[in-house]
Every structure is written in C-alpha cells, then in structure tokens.
Amino acid sequence: MRHPAPPKPSAWLTATARAAHQLYDQPQILHDPIALRILGPEREADLRADAERQRQPLAVAMRATMAVRSRLAEDSWRDAQQRGVQQYVILGAGLDTYAYRAAATAEFRVYEVDLPAMLQWKRDCLRAAGIAEPAEVRYVATDFTACAWMEELQQAGFNAALPACFSWLGVSMYLKPDEVMRVLSEIADCAPGSSIVFDYCVHRKYLSEQESAGLDFVAASLAAQGEPLQSSFEPPLMEHMLRHQGFRRVEDFDAAALSARYGANLSVSGIFHLMHATV
C-alpha cells in the first residue's frame, strides 16, 4: 500500500531525490541507507524502474542539489559536535533521515521542527517503514510564518542558553522575505557558537540566461502544485543582512564552491545558494 500523499508535495519530491541519489549517482555525496526505505516499497520500485528519466539533466541536477545541501548541513553538525555543541535543530524537517541513521547518543538532542500535518505524515511514514523513533529526537509542531516557533522549540526542551546547530533546507524560498529574515534574526540571537546552514533562491539578476529559464520552469512547477516561490535574494545583500543581524562568520556557497568542496563533476543548480553562518 502506498503512503498517503504528503501535506506539501515539495517534501515528497525532496525525499524522492535523496533516495534516487542512492541508486543513480556515484560517487555518492550523501550516504543515506534508509532514504529508500522511508518512501515505502512501492515508491522504491517506481524509482528503480525510472532509470531513463533519472538520466535527464534536470533530474541529475535535482538529485545533486538535494544531496549536497543535506551533506553540508550534516557536515556542519559534525563540526559543531567537535566544538561541544549538543543541540541539532532541523527546521522544516520533512522526511530528513539524519536522526534515524546516526548512532544514538544520549548527550545529543535532535529537534525536528515542521508544520503539524508534516510531522504527523513523517511519523506515519516511519511507522509504515518500521523505523524506530530515537529517544533523543523531539518533534516540534510550528509554523514559520508565526512568531512563536522559538518559544515552541524551548517548550520542547531546547536550551536557549546553550549553542545549537540549525539546518533549514527547502523552506526559505516559500516564505516572504520579512519572514525569512525574522527566522534568521531569532537564530542570530541564540547563544554564541550557534550556527545555521540554509538555502535560498538567488535573485534572477545574478543568474545566467539558462539559469533564469530554469528558475521560470521550477517556479511554474511549484506554483502548479500549490507552493509558489515567494522570495529571492541577492547574495551580497544576504551576506550583509546576516552580518548586520550579528552573525560573525558568513559563507555563501554557489554551484562552483560546492563543486570545489564535494566533487569537480557535481551538477548542482545555480538557482539556489547554500549559506553557512555562525553566531
């Protein structure tokens, strides 16, 4: 039996791309042994039978983009652990599988934050796949367009007096610019040593003609499924705003920077950038 449709189609597309990466890409940027399992056997069978479409350039770029952004976030968390950080907050968790394939450690706490319906759908998928919920995971139901998400996070046990590592992937582009900056401002107010990895849509004035055409295609596809893009940012201005909010170290990763970091043959879309910022 197939899993029920997710509340947000983009979450399903993201999870499917990460799973397809396990089947069709070598070397792997992100090794995720349960990415296929969480989708369910029928969806996995569909992916295995979909080899021809998965070879198309757009599918290749989609898989690489989804895999590399998760890899950068998880690398950031591993680095944070080495500095003594014990809180990992996954904002817009969707079907992220990190907590279910990492070695369980009582000293670390993982918070998965998403809309109530999204968290319920994910937990249904976990149960259907026979994947246990680790004791160190806390599920925090919230809405980033509201102002109370940090309070709800703290009510779930998050310690605002201690540093934390945040991951915020595949969310900012669906929010209005002021909503994006409000979330980032609250993270900037976290304890020194806190950090975030997030992605954002690049303003078309910084895109090539081919990338602009790709953005138009992506925007139309997302709007058709009820999730229109609502924000884009100029990279220099985004860096300036983050520094103004109080982030000490700001790194912007475009396609070239990600290729240099994770593999020269990496086919990542330039429509979105990844940002790593530290308080």
Task: Give residue limits of the domains in the chain.
Answer: 9-278
- Options 3.40.50.150, 3.75.10.20, 3.30.470.20, 3.40.109.40; CATH of 9-278: 3.40.50.150
Q: In what order do the strands lie in the sheet with 137-141?
A: 137-141, 109-114, 87-91, 165-168, 195-201, 272-278, 249-253
Phi-psi map region of 249: left, alpha, beta (phi>0 left; psi -120 to 50 alpha): beta
For 85-99, the pLDDT digits (tens) are 999 999 999 999 999
> What is the pLDDT, as a whole number, of residue 3?
60
Compute the average pLDDT of residues 177-204. Answer: 97
> What is the pLDDT, as a whole number, of residue 17?
94
Instruction: Find residue 195's DSSP bridge partners.
Output: 165, 278
Give the Cα separation of 205 and 209 in Å (integer).
10
Amino acid at 99: A
- pTM value is 0.94
Q: DSSP letter at 148?
A: -
> What is the pLDDT, as a whole number, of residue 265?
75
Segment among 24-28, 61-65, 103-107 with least mean pLDDT: 103-107
pLDDT at 2 over 60: no
